Amino acid sequence: MPPLPIPEAAPLSWYLILSAVLFALGVAGFLFRRNIITVFMSIELMLNAVNLSFVSFSYKLKQNDGHIFSFFVMVVAAAEAAVGLAIILTVFKNRQTLEIDEVSSLKN
C-alpha cells in the first residue's frame, strides 16, 4: 500500500478546524436538543472548543497567555455549571419536567 500523504506533524490549521467543528456540533446540540441538561452540556462543548482555539493560538504566538485565558474559561465554566445545575434542580422541583419546551409559562 503506498504511503498516505500524512505530514510528519499536524499543521496548526488542523487544530483550528477541529475547534470549529466541535463548536459547530455544540451549537447543533444547543439548538436541536430538548432536555435542559443536554443543552447545558452542549454549552460546555462549545466552551471546550474555544479552549482548544486559545491554546492553539498560544502555541503560534509562543506565549503562554492563551493557556491562562483557557484556565480562566475553565474557572468561569465551573462557576456557571454549578449555578446552572442548581437552577435546573429548582426548575425540576417546581415543574417536574426537564424539557425546555414545557417551561413556557411566560409565553403569549
Partner 1 sequence: MDAILFLLFAAIAVVCAINLVLQSHPISSALSLVGVMGSLAVLYLLLGGEFIAMAQLIVYAGAIMVLFIFVIMLLNAGTELRSKRHLWGMYAGIPMLLALVGVVAYIVRDVLPASGAVVFGSFQHGNPEDIGKNLFVNYLLPFEVTSVLILVAIIGAIVLARKEVD
Binding site residues, partner 1, CB under 8 A: 6-18, 20-22, 24-26, 28-29, 32-35, 37-38, 40-42, 44-45, 48, 51-52, 55-56, 58-60, 62-65, 67-68, 70-72, 74-83, 85-90, 92, 98-99
Helix (H) or strand (E) holding 37: helix 36-61
Q: Which of residues 57 and 105 has its CB atom nearest to partner 1 in the complex?
A: 57
Least Å distance, CB 48 to partner 1, is 6
76 touches 51 (CB < 8 A):
no
91 touches 103 (CB < 8 A):
yes
Least Å distance, CB 73 to partner 1, is 10
Least Å distance, CB 2 to partner 1, is 17
Q: Which of residues 93 and 107 has its CB atom nearest to partner 1 in the complex?
A: 93
Please calculate the CA angle 51-73-16 and round it to the nearest 5 degrees.
15
Would you state the torsion angle of the CA atoms of residues 17, 21, 22, 27, taken in this order, to the nearest 10 degrees?
140
Q: What are phi and psi of 40, to 5 degrees?
A: -65, -40
Q: Which of residues 2 and 11 has its CB atom nearest to partner 1 in the complex?
A: 11
